[in-house]
Structure formats: C-alpha cells, structure tokens
Amino acid sequence: MNAHERIAVVTGGGSGIGLATCSRLAADGFTLAVLDLDVDAAKAAAGADGTGYEADVSDADAVERTFAEIVAAFGRIDVLVNNAGINGGPAATICHETPVADWDRVHAINSRGPFLCSRAALPVMLAQGSGHVITVASVAGMIVFPGRCAYTASKGAALMFAKSLAVDYAQAGIRSNAVCPGFVETPMTQWRLDVPELRAKVEGNIPLGRVAQPTDIADAISVLASGRLGYMNGHALIVDGGWTAL
C-alpha cells in the first residue's frame, strides 16, 4: 500500500485543531473523510480527493450511517482521529452552577462521540487487521481545570476510553493513543483569549510563554498517524508547552 491509499477519518475537521489536522494529514499523503456539523467546512477540509460529511458525533444513527458511507466509498479506515469536542462555554463552570443540559452536551460530544465513532470504525479495522484510533483528549483529563467541571470530567473519560481501546484491541493489530493539548487558540477558546488579562493569566502559566496554535497539535497527531511510533499504545501524548511540568 502506498501513502496515498491510506484513509484517515477526522471528526470535527471543519475548524480549529481538526482543520489543521486535515491539512497536515493530507500533506502526509492521507485521503480524508471529514465529519463536521458544517458540511461545507467538512468538504473544504477534505480536499479534492477526500469527502466531507455532515454529522453530529453524538447521534448514533448519524454516525453509523456516515461510517457506512465512508467504508463504501474507500473500503478501509487506517486512522480515526476523534477530534470533535466542545468546552461548554461560560455556563459550564463549577458543578452546582452548571446547567444539566450543558453537562449532557459536553459529555455527549467529548466522551460519547469518541465511543460512537470508534465503535463504527473498529469493525472495518478488525477486518483489515490494522488501524489506529487517535483521540484528542486534553491535559484537563489529567489535571483539573478550575471552573470547568463538565469539560474536565469529559476529557478524563475520553482519555481512559483511549486507554481501554489500546488494551482491548492490541492483539487484533489496532492501536489507540490520545493527544492531550494544553490551552490552544481555537474558536472555542477565543472568548477567553480575547480578554487581555485572561490571556496573560493563561500564558503566564505556560513555560513556553504562549498558547498552542492548532498546527502544534496537528503536528503531534501527524507523528502518531504516520506509524513511526509503532510500539506506542495506550499513551497520553502531552502537548502543552510545559504547563503540566510546573
């Protein structure tokens, strides 16, 4: 199989980390299947050789239908990047002040989404005897982000889900790893980073002195997707500028 026959599925690929990841994986020779709520953004991210799909990763029927279309179109899935995620916005804060609907939506996207997409991709990976599931978790799944109860809990779940896949499917030739970003400049975080004093507080806690750009995280995903780290399985790859080293 040459590089251009490798198929990567990227969820939430229309913006932020997902869009940067699509660009990097396409440059690496992958053909892309991109899922996003914005189908035009998904199609643009997929490029001429790939395909974009409108899908809510928390919707079981939509996920099953979309992955069936992907398999019918490409015949295989070599890499699944579980990237789609939300932080819940300002309302999803400390526990007793977080609306139940916000908690449910954060967990629906951040932990149910990787489950549904992996569940849909794994049968084809099992049939081909290979595959790699890369889940974008967060350092918030390892340390607590104050005032972000729903997000922290959901990313902890996503991280342990990635480890569970690593243990359960390794003997079938399928690996699973997580990428754990720190603070990344994306449309989801702009509400905080656009406030100068909040940006300064965030960057003051990062030894490299800046928040990550989406391309920083895409670089890490690219290395995992390349297969060059073939013995890495069940790992949480931290990409946070040294934040959690403090």
Inter-residue contact 123 to 131 (CB < 8 Å): no
How many CB atoms sit inside 10 A of residue 178's CB? 29
Spell 91-101 as b/e; 16+ CB within 10 A means b: ebbeeeebeee
pLDDT at 192: 76
Q: Is the pTM of this model over 0.85?
A: yes
Give residue 2's pLDDT band: very low, low, confident or very high (50, 70, 90).
Answer: very low
Give residue 89's pLDDT band: very low, low, confident or very high (50, 70, 90).
Answer: confident
pLDDT in tens, 19-62: 999 999 999 999 999 999 999 999 999 999 999 999 999 999 99
pLDDT in tens, 191-227: 778 889 889 999 999 999 999 999 999 999 999 999 9
Would you kindly state where each structural domain of the chain is located, as residue ranges?
Answer: 3-186+213-240
Active site residues: 151
pLDDT in tens, 93-123: 999 999 999 999 999 999 999 999 999 999 9
3-state secondary structure of 238: strand
Give me the CATH topology for the region 3-186+213-240: Rossmann fold (3.40.50)
HSE-up of residue 63 (Cα within 13 Å, Cβ side): 25
3-state secondary structure of 136: strand
What is the token pair recorded at 233?
């399985």
Helix, strand, coil percentages (3-state) for the chain, rounded to 5, are 50, 15, 35
Give residue 1's pLDDT band: very low, low, confident or very high (50, 70, 90).
Answer: very low
On the question of pLDDT at 187 being above 90, the answer is: no
d(CA 6, CA 130) in angstroms, rounded, equals 12
d(CA 143, CA 208) in angstroms, rounded, equals 19
On the question of pLDDT at 3 being above 70, the answer is: no
Give CA angle at 190 (239, 216), nearest 5°.
Answer: 25
What is the token pair recorded at 82?
């579980």
Compute the CA torsion angle 101, 105, 107, 113 (nearest 10 deg).
150
On the question of pLDDT at 166 being above 70, the answer is: yes
